[in-house]
Amino acid sequence: MQTYLRGRDLIGDLDFSKEEVETVLEVAFDLKRKRALGEPTPYLRDKVLAMLFFFSSTRTRGSFEAGMAHLGGHAAFIESRTTQIAHGDTPKEIGEIFGRYYDGIAIRHVDWGVGNKYITEVAKYSRVPVLNMQCDIYHPFQCLADLMTIFEKKGRDLRRKKMVVSWAYAASYQKPISVPQSLILQMPRFGLDIVLAHPPEFRLMPEIMDMAREQARKYGTGFEVVDDMDEAFKDADIIYAKSWGALVHTTDTEEGARLLQKYSNWITDERRMALAKPDAIYMHPLPADRNIEVTDGVMDGPQSVVYDEAENRMHAQMAVMALTMA
Ligand code: CP
């Protein structure tokens, strides 16, 4: 096991260089192959990961917990409301104290304007790696799994391939903007031309947009923003369409709900998928609002790779944990 990432945090997508991300994915593919063959992977025997959740999860919890077990270690699930955080434990206490008990600290905190700052502050005081299981700005582990899935389905040479990162309507709740932000930062490094599609009110953070444009310039890839889902889908190789909340409006108000309703036709359906290339893949990090955000036909259809994508969360996370915590 290569360990040159030992001790490193992963909070933002660009914390690891392109070469380091390539190493992570090589290790992830090796771990996936070994798991398929039933070979043991005890790279983190006797190591323990703290998983501190301020927000609910299906995949993130399951994949980190199972991943640590497959690496021979243990993951402790800690729900923030069961801690003394509300009674005075600051990020300093969490970083200092958990850093002494555990070999890594993974945190999910998606509260707008709070989550990323919280995780960064814990990392300041922690002597062990701090891993971002999703904050208000980034979802780096989702993005690594997405990249791994794209390599599997589209090969390693992604130059001139068109990836659509599109907003979609959802009724369930105002989802964080971290997934699209991570995608537009990481994917240009690997040659993908990005078309970002969203209604005008659902833009991403201006500073992340600037960073994404800079990445695209650096790697000579395309970066375009449109406000028309049909136009975006045309001739695409990869469709990644999901809901996210507005930066300035809240959908909890009457005005916000009206605004959201205006775009209820932003759904990935069979007609729209037909605008993309015939071999285009459909991606979504899940959970998705079925038949609101995406039709059953697309989600369960031959172009959908959502379950491979969810599986790859575990392999990618195992790779990062093994490389940083070994
Ligand atoms: N995609 C993702 O992060 O899923 P969960 O919210 O279920 O962890």
**Distance (Å, whole) CA 222 – CA 238:** 14
What is residue 257's predicted lDDT score, i.e. its pLDDT?
81
Place of tokens 């600051």: 90
Place of tokens 């609101």: 292
What is residue 194's predicted lDDT score, i.e. its pLDDT?
98
What is residue 35's predicted lDDT score, i.e. its pLDDT?
98
Q: Which residues of 146-177 are buried (b: 16+ CB within 10 A; e: fewer)?
A: bbbbbbebbeeebeebbbbbbbbbbeeebbbb
Measured between alpha carbons, how far is residue 124 from residues 22, 47, 91, 279 in Å?
26, 21, 9, 45
Q: Which residues pair with 135 in a beta bridge?
A: 109
**Measured from the CB, is residue 59 less than 6 Å from ligand 1?**
yes
**Measured from the CB, is residue 57 less than 6 Å from ligand 1?**
yes
Sheet of 223-226: strand order equals 223-226, 193-197, 162-167, 238-242, 281-283
**Measured from the CB, is residue 154 less than 6 Å from ligand 1?**
no
Measured between alpha carbons, how far is residue 194 from residues 52, 99, 165, 189, 216 in Å?
33, 38, 7, 11, 9
Cβ atoms within 10 A of the Cβ of 109, count? 22
Closest to 76 measured CA to CA, from 49, 108, 100? 49
Cα–ligand 1 centroid distance for 55 (angstroms): 10
Which residue, judged by its Cα, is nearest atom 7 of ligand 1? Answer: 58
User: Is this prediction's ipTM beyond 0.85?
Assistant: yes
Burial of 39 (0-12, 13-18, 19+ CB in 10 A): exposed
What is residue 260's predicted lDDT score, i.e. its pLDDT?
87
Domains of the chain: 13-139+313-325 (3.40.50.1370), 141-309 (3.40.50.1370)
What is residue 95's predicted lDDT score, i.e. its pLDDT?
98
What is residue 1's predicted lDDT score, i.e. its pLDDT?
59
Probe ligand 1: pick from 51, 57, 182, 312, max atoms within 8 Å of CB? 57
Which residue, judged by its Cα, is nearest atom 3 of ligand 1? Answer: 60
**Measured from the CB, is residue 286 less than 6 Å from ligand 1?**
yes
Flag residues of the chain having pLDDT under 50: none
> From the alpha carbon of 134, which atom of ligand 1 is closest?
3
What is residue 113's predicted lDDT score, i.e. its pLDDT?
96
Cα–ligand 1 centroid distance for 234 (angstroms): 28
**Distance (Å, whole) CA 284 – CA 233:** 15
Cα–ligand 1 centroid distance for 218 (angstroms): 30
Contact by Cβ (8 Å): 114, 135: no
Probe ligand 1: pick from 56, 79, 134, 143, max atoms within 8 Å of CB? 134
**Measured from the CB, is residue 58 less than 6 Å from ligand 1?**
yes
